[in-house]
Amino acid sequence: MTDLSPQTRLALLEAGLDPAAVADLVRRALEEDLAGGVDATTVATVPESALSSGDLVTRAEGVVAGLPVAAAVFDLAGGAVLTPVVADGAVVAAGTPVASVAGRTRVLLTAERTALNLLGRLSGIATLTAVWVSAVHGTGASVRDTRKTTPGLRALEKYAVRCGGGVNHRMSLSDAAMVKDNHVVAAGGVVEAFEAVRSAFPGLPVEVEADTVEDAVRAVEAGADLVLLDNMSAAELRRAVAAVAGRARLEASGGLTLDTAYEVAATGVDYLAVGALTHSAQVLDIGLDLAVLAASSVTDAPVDADPSAV
């Protein structure tokens, strides 16, 4: 496998993604697909000298996310070049070319599924996020993700949420604290749990989950920066907003649907926590339409047992 191109590395950095982490993920995905062997169909049918170009084309309307990640796949599979036609975050119709690719045909075909898996997954998250953002437009509330992400893909999936107009919650367990019901049970109460975290990590942002308006007020009076209002009705959310009176940010969570999103957002909360953005997004269908530019005879294709040859 080759390395990331300077252009891809820069695009990943500009997207807020770690090039080394993306490269590691992509290498593992490509290796998973080859399983220590070769792309047998491609090696048998495509001459080594064949060159191709093609377009990555949407089969449905959606929001694009992950083009720099797809570029990394083609880079690392053998140095094929992906050139974006649109930018991540663009809303596109079905049939829209979102990027072009060019290089050795073997490389393009071997990289195709890995690139499309990642691009389609991230674009699906961005598309669903945009639907939620549109649903609460005009309320002042933001749509926020959770840690309900695919293991190993969190940074990419949270990037996709940003592409769709959403905002990120904490990236990990260490960059912010969140006192949930089990922490409350273990500590002996909402205030006790909050104070324990504040004492152990004085500079860390702390969010506290509250099941009642009274618990929300207690958390705020103890000094909580953010209160998660769990499974509350719209009426309870309005009561909590009035009781907190701007002393902390408020996040509605639990049982949220697109049908109720506007009503919940209109209560005055700051955020809607929507785990579905990452755990239930439908992949955006994107395909590779390829055209062979130059090739020798198919019978000249060597059957090479070295995975690096494809």
Which residues are marked as active site?
Answer: 113, 148, 180, 209, 230
**Beta partners for residue 58, in sequence order:** 286
CA gap 200, 63 in Å, rounded: 42
CA gap 178, 213 in Å, rounded: 18
Total residues found in the chain within this entry: 310
| DSSP annotation string for 8-74 | HHHHHHHTT--HHHHHHHHHHHHHHHHTTS--HHHHHHS-TT-EEEEEEEESS-EE---HHHHHHHH
Measured at the alpha carbon of residue 11, what is the angle toward residues 9 and 15, in degrees to the nearest 5? 115
Residue 256 CA from chain centroid, whole number: 20
CA gap 191, 261 in Å, rounded: 30
- Over 220-261, what HEC string results? HHHCCCEEEEECCCHHHHHHHHHHHCCCCEEEEECCCCHHHH
CA gap 72, 2 in Å, rounded: 10
